[in-house]
Amino acid sequence: MNIPADLKYTPSHEWVRVEADGTLTVGITHHAQDLLGDMVFIENPAAGRALKKGEECAVVESVKAASDVYAPVAGEVIAANGDVESSPEAINKDAYSAWMFKLKPANAADVAELMDAAAYQKLVESEAH
Amino acid sequence: MLIFDHSRPGRTATSQLPAAGGSLDDLPAALRRKAAPALPEVSELDVVRHYTRLSQKNFSIDTQFYPLGSCTMKYNPRACNSLAMLPQFLARHPASPDETGQGFLASMFELQEMLKDVTGMAGVSMAPMAGAHGEFAGVAMIRAYHDARGDTARREIIVPDAAHGTNPATATMCGYTVKEIPTDSTGAVNLEALRAAVGPQTAGLMLTNPSTLGVFEKTITDIQKIVHDAGGLLYYDGANLNAILGKVRPGDMGFDVIHMNLHKTFSTPHGGGGPGAGPVGVSQRLLPFMPIPLVLNDNGLYRLATETDLPQSIGRLSANMGNAGVLMRAYVYARLLGGEGMHRVAEYATLNANYLMAKLREAGFDLAFPERRASHEFIVTLKKLKDVTGVSAMDFAKRLLDYGYHAPTTYFPMLVPECLLIEPTETESRETLDGFVEAMKTIKHEAETNPELVKGAPYSLPVRRLDDVKAARELDLAYPVAESMPPRV
């Protein structure tokens, strides 16, 4: 199971990296891409869009299914990764370097509510049949 | 190879052309073609060979066992086809006067009544022409009902996470927001989550019972009470009606609206995109909102209802009597079965699914919900096999094709990893089911001893493994006719 210890996670399988300047980089986890299979299309939110926590803001589509990606915390989109849109397979190759979008959190303290690697590991195990 | 690839300039076949008559001289010049249509120029023998070859490549219920879960690929009795093809039905003009079409309209009326009986609903309209069309009609009626009462704060439809993807899509198309609720470890709707989800914003709940996990919602009485107490309505997705046909009626379970897939449960041909038929049934309070056309019995004269008969109708969903040819086939099927036969459909569909499930369990396959009895379908998960051998559910499905079986549904429902959703239907013999189990055992052995063999399947079909990613990303749907066939003037 590939769950880097230095990242934060959501129950809907997004990973979040807290950057030095307090902004957040968001992608989907290795486990999520493993479930979805080969990626076909990625749709990112536009920069400048204000998101509520849990709002559907991006779509990842694989050969098996299309799945929504949710905002881990409330905030404003400050960048979207065009590279993963043109090469969705990057997420299959390395889910943690193929980031999707960057977020400026509305409230920096919200980040504390995200799961750490151990909690996410437990969640993944509990979801396995 | 497409029919266009056989085209050679000047090659024709005229022996079956209808006799030409009249002249096009009175057509305004602006409406006439500037160039001849880009049709292939082929001989009669070219056409016969081309389409015969295509039909031989077809993997179909007429040639192979087709246990595609949630699709109910059962045998289509030939009698249904031959009776629906009688010229009195087939050649009847849809706009001919009701008086000259009483046989057809009586058949449609009787089918409506039979569908009412078997589902326990107060009214049925057969206007919707596909399952998704029926879903749209159903949720549109829920909305019309709330709107007619001025209850416009109800903006949310609740959908369990096991639902078909069409359910949230339908709710969204009808202007609702979707609230998803989880299922518990036995595959049932989580009642606590449902209680927490309902409220004055709830327009309704969409439920498939038995669910896509192949299990019956045993707490349906509690579910309906929770939703109704909150002021919402209950929608029954009829995708899995085959499992309970003639045994349990959605109307008795408390559902307010239901759509049926006649192309599944009532055995009309499907696959490859239809045509389907998605009649809707409603409870008493939704009767005024039914879509038209539907058939009325007006003192012994059958006729199609209009907006005048149903002023609050959600509207006209088809110009004439829905997909009339499909409905005729379903009517003959229902008449062939009779009430007792419909009981047998559910009994044998369930028996076959449970037999197959028990045999596969004996053969060492893992069931997603081992503690539950199957309804008409069940789920095998190949998670462990994949972890050990690297062979995925998709590899397994492709290898089944080599052994002459259509693959079961793969990777649906998404809740179960590496899953195969298997629905044998009531029309298969024990020998066929045993043959399928043997193929499954053989492939499992291959996966354990020679995984690369399974990963490379299929080997025996006209096309090998397709590049799914390329197919999705570089859509190539239009044949470049213009390049090979310059238009003629």
Mean pLDDT computed over B222-246: 96
Length of chain B: 489
Any idea which of B140-154, B218-232, B258-272 has the lowest mean pLDDT? B258-272
For residue B49, the distance in angstroms to the closest alpha carbon of chain A comes to 34
Pairing type for strands B257-260 and B233-238 reads: parallel
Q: Are A2 and A33 in contact (CB under 8 A)?
A: no
Out of A39, A64, A129, closest to residue B381 by CB: A129
- CA distances to A50, B195, B391, B401 from B418, rounded to whole Å, are 37, 31, 10, 18
Q: Are B291 and B313 in contact (CB under 8 A)?
A: yes
- Residue A63 forms contact with B (CB below 8 Å): yes
Tally the C-alpha atoms within 13 A of residue A101's C-alpha that lie toward its C-beta.
29
Q: Return the percentage of chain B with pLDDT > 70, whole number.
A: 98
State which residue of chain A sits closest to B473, comparing Cα positions: A40
- Which residues of A are less than 8 Å from B368 in CB distance? 129
Listed residue (B305, B336, B337, B299) closest to B321, CA to CA: B305
Domain A8-107 CATH assignment equals 3.40.50.12160: no
Is the model's pLDDT at B486 over the cut of 70? no
Is the model's pLDDT at B488 over the cut of 80? no
pLDDT in tens, B104-138: 999 999 999 999 999 999 999 999 999 999 999 99
- Which residues of A are less than 8 Å from B469 in CB distance? 38-40, 63, 89
State which residue of chain A sits closest to B380, comparing Cα positions: A129
Is the model's pLDDT at B264 over the cut of 70? yes
Is the model's pLDDT at B483 over the cut of 60? no
For B416-438, give the DSSP string: STTEEEE---TT--HHHHHHHHH
- Which residues of B are less than 8 Å from A13 in CB distance? none
Pairing type for strands B177-181 and B156-160 reads: parallel
- Which residues of B are less than 8 Å from A89 in CB distance? 469
Largest CA distance in chain B: 75
- Residue B282 forms contact with A (CB below 8 Å): no
pLDDT in tens, B62-114: 999 999 999 999 999 999 999 999 999 999 999 999 999 999 999 999 999 99
Out of B383, B417, B469, closest to residue A38 by CB: B469
The span from the CA of B113 to the CA of A49, in Å, is 53
- Which residues of A are less than 8 Å from B414 in CB distance? 35, 64-65
Out of A41, A89, A129, closest to residue B416 by CB: A129
pLDDT in tens, B144-166: 999 999 999 999 999 998 888 89
Q: Helix crossing, B131-148 with B166-173: angle to 10°?
A: 40
CB contact under 8 A, A35 and B417: yes
For residue B195, the distance in angstroms to the closest alpha carbon of chain A comes to 21
Mean pLDDT computed over B28-57: 90
Is the model's pLDDT at B487 over the cut of 80? no
Amino acid identity at A86: S
DSSP H helical segments within B85-130, as ranges?
87-90, 102-119
Is the model's pLDDT at B480 over the cut of 90? no
The span from the CA of A96 to the CA of A31, in Å, is 11
- CA distances to B261, B467, B481 from B475, rounded to whole Å, are 30, 12, 17
Pairing type for strands A50-51 and A75-80 reads: antiparallel
- Residue A125 forms contact with B (CB below 8 Å): no
- Residue B344 forms contact with A (CB below 8 Å): no
Q: Are B138 and B259 in contact (CB under 8 A)?
A: yes
Which of the residues A33, A61, A63, A68 would you substitute to probe the B interface, choosing the one with the greatest number of B C-beta atoms within 10 Å? A63
pLDDT by 10s per residue, chain A, length 129: 799 999 999 999 999 999 999 999 999 999 999 989 999 999 999 999 999 999 999 999 998 888 999 999 999 999 999 999 999 999 999 999 999 999 999 999 999 999 999 999 999 988 765
Is the model's pLDDT at B489 over the cut of 60? no
Show Cβ contacts of residue B158 under 8 Å, excluding neighbours closer than 6 positions.
B178, B179, B180, B181, B194, B197, B198, B202, B204, B205, B206, B227, B232
Buried b (16+ CB within 10 A) or exposed e, B120-151: bbebbbbbbbbbbbbbbbbbbbbbbbbeeeee
pLDDT value, residue B273: 67
pLDDT in tens, B374-429: 999 999 999 999 999 999 999 999 999 999 999 999 998 888 889 999 999 999 99
Helix (H) or strand (E) segment spanning residue A50: strand A50-51
First to last CA, chain B: 27
Q: Are B217 and B211 in contact (CB under 8 A)?
A: yes
- Which residues of A are less than 8 Å from B473 in CB distance? 40-41
CATH code for residues B80-337: 3.40.640.10
pLDDT in tens, B279-330: 999 999 999 999 999 999 999 999 999 999 999 999 999 989 999 999 999 9
For residue A40, the distance in angstroms to the closest alpha carbon of chain B comes to 6
For residue A6, the distance in angstroms to the closest alpha carbon of chain B comes to 27
pLDDT value, residue B481: 62
Show Cβ contacts of residue B95 under 8 Å, excluding neighbours closer than 6 positions.
B320
What is the SS3 assignment for A15? strand
pLDDT value, residue B185: 83
Question: Mean pLDDT over all residues of chain B?
Answer: 93
User: Considering the domain B346-473, what is its CATH architecture?
Assistant: Alpha-Beta Complex (3.90)
- Which residues of B are less than 8 Å from A41 in CB distance? 472-473
The span from the CA of B118 to the CA of B99, in Å, is 29
Q: Return the percentage of chain B with pLDDT > 90, whole number.
A: 78
State which residue of chain A sits closest to B178, comparing Cα positions: A56
Q: Where are the domains of chain A?
A: 8-107
CB contact under 8 A, A63 and B417: no
CB contact under 8 A, B411 and A89: no
Q: Where are the domains of chain B?
A: 80-337, 346-473
Q: B253: left (phi > 0), else alpha (psi -120 to 50), else beta?
A: alpha
pLDDT value, residue B475: 84
Q: What is the pTM of this model?
A: 0.88
- Global ipTM: 0.76
